[in-house]
Chains A and B, each alone.
Chain A
């Protein structure tokens, strides 16, 4: 067989190499495999034969044609991931083969560029969050949350985590999976039904037993509202020896107070909004940051890149640091099993934040706030309760319709509009009429007006 990806599989090379090895056929190299295990025919995979580029292109095209992409207007769907604009320069940089075909930079001298880009990612996030130490990425926000909980248990030696009842349901379910093996309990704190904010009395009561490893909040919450009592929650947690963990939206931080400012010990986030695309939910980017505190940094999961110098002290350079926390050295005593992470997505985020810059981050946060508020206001004018909570919000908000939302959602699809996320399954207590909308920098006033007009017409029809 001759194939472009297997250079030496041709007859000439193969004959030469097998002769040098001293065997007759390639299968002689499998002589130690029990013969009854060797397959006698090729596996039933693919389309029964090898395919050329042109052939696979046509096949993939036939599948992709069946996917429906919403770009005019962009999706209004929330749920932790929203449609954001991806600058061409971001795609260009992460499409460079020197980056995307590299391995983890175990040999720093030959991968300075990769290491510096990751160091810059860590640094840009540190400044955005006002946290001091950021790792080189987790898989996504859900696993960053789970790792933060595990870390809190290691740091405090306590075994209970308190979370808001409004927490992102998938993040909660992932955290439960990750904590199951260690028998760590997660308890939910009820919320103020008017504002959505955490019930401070209940929080304080649950902290009294002093067996809580961490208090987690989302800010903004997965339902969009802002948790304004962050300082009080932070103080309560610390008073009872628990860590305070904040989940944030990076693109809100040009406008909203960063987690470092309200004394979060650990901050986590989903980095998808920083130039990644939706990717049907993966790959994403789990952001993980801690403040400068010896006992926290030593217990961090994941890879860290640090600044150093050449052994002769003459030049600056970058290397992986504090590796004694990691699995390849510490094995079962490692702070986490994570190895492969989302490095290329972290670089995308670094390029994105570099392009956005100090002016851009302020502007984009502000414009997202303005647009989402405009959408909520327009919706409330046609008899939709939006936002559902009487509270400030950012980007996502709950809208409650006078009729069951699923019907409306299907009618929107017929008009080529991807509406809000139906909340009947995601957040059952809120009822079948509710949906989670997301409005970003990508939605013009015209897009929003179009949505509202179409909704108005649908509601009239469905009623």
Chain B
């Protein structure tokens, strides 16, 4: 990393504002369009046949050539920032490098052109890869079977929560409470609520792990299960996990593993051995499929024992001769999305796992943990960022600092620190999460970040702290080196100015009063 970073600053117009002369241009030639007249002669004119269902005015889309469209979006990419540009140490997001070979092989026409309803004997190669991937993921998690269906982690969680619900109902029990630690990802309580559970919060102890006493007093015959990630969102391993499992299982509850933080332990410890019954995985975190600026990901859900019956269907099977989808669903929760899953990211995970191999996967996990603790060592004597919850304990995939001391001394907040980091060409950590830490800075380098970048990140954080003491206003005015300066969130969300589409913008310009 170098000093003096600058991001492209194009002041790029909206796609609607290009082609200011309003000329008729096209960006894409529709195939065999010369047949149009001939076709009309044979089958007639659609506008006449459609009657009242005919659209009489064309949609307000732009008219642009391919040249203009490509330049526009390339400029937009230049005002964007991902792992290919520099470090993105967003905690709990596991922003590791996305290997280029995975991208190349997963974009093969023999994958992207397959129709999901193609006969199974015409997709045996893909099905075999998916079959192997499922076996590997089951092995890594210590589960019996996995469903590849869920398109993202949250969908995997919803699947898991519904499996828990149905499992209890089938046993004649209407258990309505889902236990969720207060350090959990927001998706856990949200998924539990979508599955119809009442969410019971379990506090975190001073050690940074689930409070066992609170857990003991929370469990009852109403407990359906506990949703937990281990290591947790503080980066701390739940050392009492076997006891936690026992407490929940003893009252008849189930244990759900949120796989968002699996990176630290893959090939080292398995959720199945810890006592978890259901696990979801984030293929786009742990297994290097890209995040795509928000998606697509894939959220495989796995189970063991009798819970396998509840997994979303279809499951991938092999009868010794051919691979096929098994739709048998006696107790299953049904489908969680259409078709089989986000196949392309799953193929990328297949390649990633196969290439790293058994030792390599383990080494990646170890390095991610070394990177976290190396960073902690570099920040050891810094007073402005404190390490809450037992600073002596090693962290795993991530670490959560609080900028509370800095804020008290200078008024500079975690958000200000985040914006100042951007000015150095560094993506900010996850901020204000988990909610149990004030002014939280949640940092996860993954195994991908070279040592020097971790050093540069630590050095920059120290400089920001120093500058905050000298001139807090300078930090509060950041960022300056990004495509735009700090943005007005109040204007963005105000009922009178909130503008979610260009259509709303145009309606306002025409004088309509659109108030939210």
Contacts and interface: CB of A to CB of B under 8 A. Distances in A.
A28 B366 CA distance: 10
A110 B129 CA distance: 37
B190 A112 contact: no
A441 interface: yes
B252 to A, nearest CB: 19
Q: Interface residues of A toward B: which range?
A: 35 or more
A51 B355 contact: yes
Nearest to B150: A139
B54 A255 contact: yes
A81 B448 CA distance: 37
B500 A306 contact: yes
A316 B358 CA distance: 49
B31 A339 contact: no
Interface string B472-516: 000000010011111111011100011111111101000000111
Contact of A98 (B82, B193, B504): B82
A341 B152 contact: yes
Contacts of A201: none
A337 B99 contact: no
Interface in A304-344: 304-313, 315-319, 321-322, 326-334, 336-344
B337 interface: yes
A400 to B, nearest CB: 18
B61 A107 contact: no
Contacts of A106: 90, 428, 430-431
A298 B340 CA distance: 32
Interface string A15-43: 01110111100111111111001110011
Contacts of B28: 87, 89, 352, 355-357, 360
B190 A255 contact: no
Give the most central of A104, A350, A421: most B CB within 10 Å. Answer: A104
Nearest to A17: B374
B261 interface: no
A283 B344 contact: yes
B487 A67 contact: no
A20 B370 CA distance: 10
Given A280-B116, A319-B487, A357-B64, A340 B81 contact: no
Interface stretch (A167-175, A186-194, A455-463): A167-175
B61 A38 contact: no
Contact of B111 (A38, A168, A280): A280
Contacts of B304: none
Interface stretch (B213-221, B293-301, B406-414, B460-468): B293-301
Contacts of A85: 30-31
Given A50-B359, A337-B190, A77 B117 contact: yes
A111 B190 contact: no
Nearest to A318: B487
A177 interface: yes
Given A50-B356, A101-B84, A170-B338, A134 B30 contact: no
A116 interface: yes
Nearest to A64: B110
B382 interface: no
B24 interface: yes
Contact of A309 (B161, B394, B487): B487
A337 B237 contact: no
B155 interface: yes
B369 A117 contact: no
Contacts of B33: 363, 367
A133 to B, nearest CB: 5
Contacts of B493: 306, 321-322
B2 to A, nearest CB: 17
Contact of A182 (B187, B194, B282): B194
Contacts of A312: 485
Contacts of B55: 253-258, 261
19 contacts: A1-B363, A21-B373, A26-B370, A39-B270, A50-B357, A51-B355, A68-B118, A100-B291, A101-B95, A102-B291, A120-B502, A126-B502, A143-B337, A174-B334, A255-B55, A311-B488, A327-B190, A351-B73, A359-B26
Enumerate the 9 nearest inter-chain pairs by beta-carbon distance, A residue then B residue, closest first.
A281-B339, A281-B116, A343-B294, A97-B84, A66-B125, A101-B82, A355-B27, A344-B292, A113-B76
Given A93-B74, A311-B487, 14 more contacts: A7-B449, A32-B394, A42-B359, A45-B361, A67-B123, A103-B90, A139-B296, A140-B338, A180-B165, A309-B487, A321-B493, A330-B190, A347-B293, A445-B32
